[in-house]
Structures are given as structure tokens and as C-alpha cells.
Amino acid sequence: MESVARSQPTAGADTAAPKDETLIYRQSRWTRLTHWIWAISLFFMLLSGLQIFNARPQLYIGKQSGFDYNNTVFAIGAENTDAGARGYTEIFGHRFDTTGVLGWSGPAGQETARGFPSWATIPSYYDLGTARVIHFFFAWILTTTLIVWLVASAVNGHLRRDLAPRLDDLKRLPQDIIDHAKLKFHHTREYNTLQKMAYGGVLFVLLPLMIITGLAMSPSMNSVLPFLNDLLGGRQTARTIHFTVMVLLVAFFVVHILMILAAGPINELRSIITGWYRTDPPAQDDNSTERSE
């Protein structure tokens, strides 16, 4: 995801303004570092999480699960049919054939029953223990970095200055939606309204919810925070919420990458790698406070 921890750089050789007035130093070292830490952590958490999910590829609502309960909301499995083994995905009772991807997959002639395919999991072979170690390791890295970022951003005013939507932002929301639909982007220093809402949703809703539901599923945390499971409606509900948050984060990532490609990938990547970003010429940017994805 594009970094959202932009801060004003201090004067120095690394941030010296070039002669080109449209090239600005937009992303600090700390911003770029946290961006890539989060991106790498989420990547390994996603693929190891899918491996963990394969141990029981069903989701439920409630505190209990099993044959005596009819509370399954999502399931991936395989079944024998007249045409041979087939994979399926079931969502709220509606079943879809997903052979070759979900439920039944693998090299030709070596297909096996598994939730997510081997190319989408870490490790690629079934190893629940290793997947848990990888998942929890990067989960703690993500959690620690996020807490430090939140505290630092609150202290230096970044949250209030750059992420909190203002009244003017809300007034510009309809135009922002139209501009994005037309793939019309304004390259400036400020976040536009859609960016503030999207980043705010990820940083203050999705990531904290993912962390909280992850803790609720941990047996060792039940003795430390016994109320957490009840607050979330039970461990099975927490697991379902955890999975749903993962899907929403993947959707955010896909949209984010598409916006980067549409807005100018070289400029966007240069910003998050080197910190330097090319804005619109002053004549085109005087009446705009928006910024590209």
C-alpha cells in the first residue's frame, strides 16, 4: 500500500530541493520504511494465513461449530461426482464449482483436495506448524510497527494534518469520485478525500480489527483477555471476521495497484523508493488540493 505516514523533511543534502520546481520531497525515510515493512508483513501473513485456513476451510458465525450446527457461511471442499473429483466453494448455501483453483487443485494427474492451491500458500506443501510460526512472526512485526507509527503520527500532528477529513474534503468528495472514474488525477502534495477515507479505513479499522480478531483466536490470549471472544461473538465469529478483513485488504491492494498504474507508476514508485515526487506544474495546480494515488 502507498505510504500514508508523510512528514515534513528537515533540510539537508538528502532533501535539498532540485531546480525542477515540480519535483518535491514527499516521503520521508520513516514513511518509506514503514510502507515496505507493512507490505512485506502483509504478504507473508496472507500466504501463511491461507495455509492455516486450509487446516479447516470453513467459516462459521457463533461460538460453536460442527455437524450439530447449521451456522456455516463459507466453505471450500471437494466431492466425488460422476465426472470425477470436483472442487467447490460454498457461500451462504450457494455452491460454485471451483475445480482447479479452490477445493481440488494441483498438477495434472496429481490433484489433491485442499482449500487454497499450493501456489497461494506458504509453505506450498501442507505444514501447519511452519505456517503458524511465519504468520505470528510477521503479525508481531506489523503490530509493533503500526503502534509506533500511530503514536508518532499523533505526536507530530500527521494524523490531524494529513489524514483527518475536513469539511472541504467532504464537499469535494463527489468531484473526487467523478475524477477517479474518469482516471483524471491531480498530482499534488495533499491527499484527496478518497485517499483519506481509504487509508483511514485501512489504518484505523481494518488493521486494528485484524489484530484484535487474531488475538481472540489465540488460546493463550484467552486467559489474558477472556472478554475478547464474547465481545466478538465467539471464536468462530472472530475467525470469520479475520478472514473477511483479509479479503478487504486484498481488495484494497488490487485497487491501490490499479490506481498507481493509472496515475503514473514511475512517479509513484520513485516517491515511495526515493522520496521524490513530481507534481503538476503550478499553473495547473493552483486551484487543486488533490493528489494522485
Say whether pLDDT at 290 is over 60: no
Task: Confirm if 123 and 63 have CB atoms less than 8 A apart.
Answer: no
Q: Are residues 192 and 67 in the same domain?
A: no
H/E run at residue 198: helix 193-201
- Give the max Cα distance, the chain: 72
The answer to whether position 23 is within a domain reads yes
Question: Where a domain ends, among 75, 95, 119?
Answer: 119
For the segment 146-174, what is each residue's pLDDT rounded down to a tens digit? 998 888 888 888 788 878 888 888 888 88
Q: Are residues 49 and 62 in the same domain?
A: no
Structurally, the chain folds into a number of domains equal to 2
Q: Are residues 202 and 161 in the same domain?
A: yes
Say whether pLDDT at 285 is over 80: no
Q: Are residues 192 and 214 in the same domain?
A: yes
Residues in the chain: 293
User: If 0-12 CB within 10 Å is exposed, 13-18 middle and 19+ buried, where does residue 182 land?
Assistant: exposed
The answer to whether position 290 is within a domain reads no
Determine the structural domain holding residue 70 and report its residue range. 58-119
Q: Are residues 131 and 223 in the same domain?
A: yes
Q: Are residues 205 and 217 in the same domain?
A: yes
Best-predicted range by mean pLDDT among 58-67, 87-96, 272-281?
87-96
Looking at residues 81-88, what average pLDDT do you find?
91
Q: Are residues 62 and 104 in the same domain?
A: yes
The answer to whether position 234 is within a domain reads yes
Residues 6+ apart with CB under 8 A from 8: 28
Distance CA 259, CA 293 (A): 6
Q: Are residues 242 and 140 in the same domain?
A: yes
Question: Where a domain ends, among 66, 85, 119?
Answer: 119
> Alpha carbon of 237 to those of 74, 208, 240, 241: distances in Å?
12, 16, 5, 6
The answer to whether position 4 is within a domain reads no
**105 φ/ψ angles, rounded to the nearest 5 degrees:** -155, 170
Task: Confirm if 245 and 4 have CB atoms less than 8 A apart.
Answer: no
Q: Are residues 17 and 92 in the same domain?
A: no
H/E run at residue 229: helix 227-232
H/E run at residue 86: strand 84-91
Task: Give me the CATH number covering residue 234.
Answer: 1.20.950.20
Q: Are residues 130 and 66 in the same domain?
A: no
The answer to whether position 78 is within a domain reads yes
For the segment 213-266, what is each residue's pLDDT rounded down to a tens digit? 999 888 778 778 888 888 888 888 999 999 999 999 999 999 999 988 888 889
For the segment 29-62, what is each residue's pLDDT rounded down to a tens digit? 887 888 899 999 999 999 999 999 999 999 998 7
Say whether pLDDT at 1 is over 60: no
For the segment 193-204, what is each residue's pLDDT rounded down to a tens digit? 888 899 889 989
Question: Where a domain ends, among 101, 119, 137?
Answer: 119
Q: Are residues 132 and 200 in the same domain?
A: yes
The answer to whether position 171 is within a domain reads yes
As a three-state string, the secondary structure of 91-160 is ECCEEEECCCCCEEECCCCCCEEECCCHHHCCCCCCCHHHHHHHHHHHHHHHHHHHHHHHHHHHHHCHHH
The answer to whether position 291 is within a domain reads no
Distance CA 130, CA 42 (A): 17
Say whether pLDDT at 84 is over 80: yes
80 DSSP β-pair partners: 85
The answer to whether position 190 is within a domain reads yes
Distance CA 4, CA 244 (A): 23
pTM of the predicted model, to two decimals?
0.81
DSSP codes, 25-53? E-S-HHHHHHHHHHHHHHHHHHHHHHHHH
Task: Confirm if 128 and 51 have CB atoms less than 8 A apart.
Answer: yes
Q: Are residues 271 and 238 in the same domain?
A: yes
